[in-house]
Amino acid sequence: MDRKQMCVANVQYKKPTANEAKRAKGLLRYLTYRESRDAAARYAAGRERWEDQGMGGSVAEIAEHCEALQSKHVLLFSLVYNVNPDLIAMIAPERREQFVRELTVQTTEAFFEQRGIDTGVEWSYVLHHRKTDDQQSPGRHDPHTHVVLPGTYYDDGLGERVPLYFNRNKSVDHIAMLHDLTERQVAEQMDRYVGPDWERRYDDLEAARTAQLAITEQPADGTFETDDGRFNFWVGARRTDEQVSAAGYYLAVGDSGAEFRPLMGGLKHDEAELLARLLQSEIGGDFATLRQLADGINEMGRAEREAFFADVRRLDFSPSTREPDLDIDFDF
């Protein structure tokens, strides 16, 4: 896999102005009380939400330290460690939080050690458990951490606090250093938490998705219109992760690309592929019919759904016959 896709490690900062100080407190409150824009925090507000590494364990304490430890140009730095959800899905659910916490602590400490800041830097972090909102695979577990750092650190040699910088130039690129350390730490932890074959498994998942995307090289199954124009679509399936797939459609985007839009998720791999073939044969190129049939299947109860897929598995989709050899009742 491309190691740059393993984890996002972003750095931002806020200036020591009255307006930015107000925004900084808003950010701290958001990080304390929210998992994401749409979800409240899983834990009660308070010290247990933040892991205190010197910056405090509450909104008030962290805000106070940010103001006291600011530099001329920086009130606070904020970092985000966000591991690729495809890798998170390989980790046992009960170990994911531990994985992300370990990544945060080990990488942050290694980063300042490599920079030669022996006295360390005060920081605090909070862990969020949001769901992915990407359109191709929404709703997957996406644990990540937010780190808050001060604008200065104590220089033991000078005997005083000096500005903390994140340089990005030819001589010193601290952002590249952080990314490199993050990638190495994620790889080391994946070996321990998942096993040495994790990278091959990731590549297999990507290869399966690429093979599924190949249907967009064939004539489109139909078109539909939106406020943004008229688009081609292809009915198909896509691997959500190693365990489950989704059935839906691929949508033409840009001049030559296509993206998947799931209509039915949480399916076994063969169920998703068979269901996509069935829908393709039933909709007659009509997008509204595709959505209607998908909605009907989603509304099925467990027993009804099991019976439905038992029938679907008996269908003959061999290339010699365009139509399935068994009627499926779509009268929802």
- Give the pLDDT confidence of 238-287 residue by residue, as tens digits: 999 999 999 999 998 877 689 999 999 999 999 999 999 999 999 999 99
Give the pairing type, strands 50-53 and 257-267. unpaired
Answer yes or no: is pLDDT of 326 > 50: no
- The closest of 10, 108, 1 to 55, measured between CA atoms, is 108
Nearest CA among 27, 251, 38 for reference residue 139 = 38
Strands (E), the chain: 7-14, 50-53, 76-83, 123-131, 141-150, 152-155, 160-163, 222-226, 229-239, 245-253, 257-267
Q: Are 65 and 149 in contact (CB under 8 A)?
A: no
Whether the Cβ atoms of residue 107 and residue 181 lie closer than 8 Å to each other: yes
Tokens standing for residue 298: 């989603």
Residue 250 burial class via C-beta count within 10 angstroms: exposed 0-12, middle 13-18, buried 19 and up: buried
Would you place residue 44 in the very low, low, confident or very high pLDDT band (cuts 50, 70, 90)? Answer: low
Cα(first)–Cα(last) distance of the chain, in Å?
Answer: 43
Mean per-residue pLDDT for 60-75?
95
Q: Is 192 left (phi over 0), alpha (psi -120 to 50) or beta?
A: alpha
What CATH topology corresponds to 3-196? Answer: BirA Bifunctional Protein; domain 2 (3.30.930)
**1 pLDDT above the threshold of 70:** yes
Q: Indicate whether 88 pLDDT > 90.
A: yes
> Who has greater pLDDT, 25 or 3?
25
Tokens of 99: 């994985």
Ramachandran assignment for 55, one of left (phi > 0), alpha (psi -120 to 50 degrees), beta (any other): alpha
Burial of 154 (0-12, 13-18, 19+ CB in 10 A): middle
Closest CA to 80 of 145, 143, 36: 145
Task: State the DSSP string of 162-203.
Answer: EE----BSSS-BHHHHHHHHHHHHHHHHHHHHT-TTHHHHHH
Tokens at residue 213, please?
């995307």
For a pLDDT cut of 70, what percent of the chain falls above it?
A: 93
Q: Residue 40 — very low, low, confident or very high, per pLDDT cuts 50/70/90?
A: confident
Using DSSP's 3-state secondary structure scheme, residue 118 falls into coil
Asked whether the beta carbons of 138 and 70 are under 8 A apart, the reply is no
Q: Answer whether residue 17 shows pLDDT above 80.
A: yes
Parse the chain into domains and list their residue ranges.
3-196, 212-313
Residues 141 and 13: their CA atoms lie apart, in Å, by: 27
Reading the block at residue 245, the tokens are 């797939």
**Any idea which of 98-102, 110-114, 195-199, 315-319 has the lowest mean pLDDT?**
315-319
What's the chain's average pLDDT? 90
Amino acid (one-letter) located at 275: L
> Average pLDDT, stretch 82-102?
97
Find the mean pLDDT for residues 277-298: 94
> Residues 205-244: pLDDT tens digits?
999 999 999 999 999 999 988 887 888 999 999 999 999 9
Maximum Cα–Cα distance for the chain, whole Å?
83
Count of residues making up the chain: 332
pLDDT at residue 43, as a whole number: 62
Report percent pLDDT > 90 for the chain: 76
Q: Which residue has the tokens 């824009």?
A: 37
Contact 126, 36 (CB under 8 A): no
74 SS3 class: coil
CB contact at 8 A, 36 and 132: no
Best CA proximity match to 149, nearest among 178, 126, 122, 174 = 122
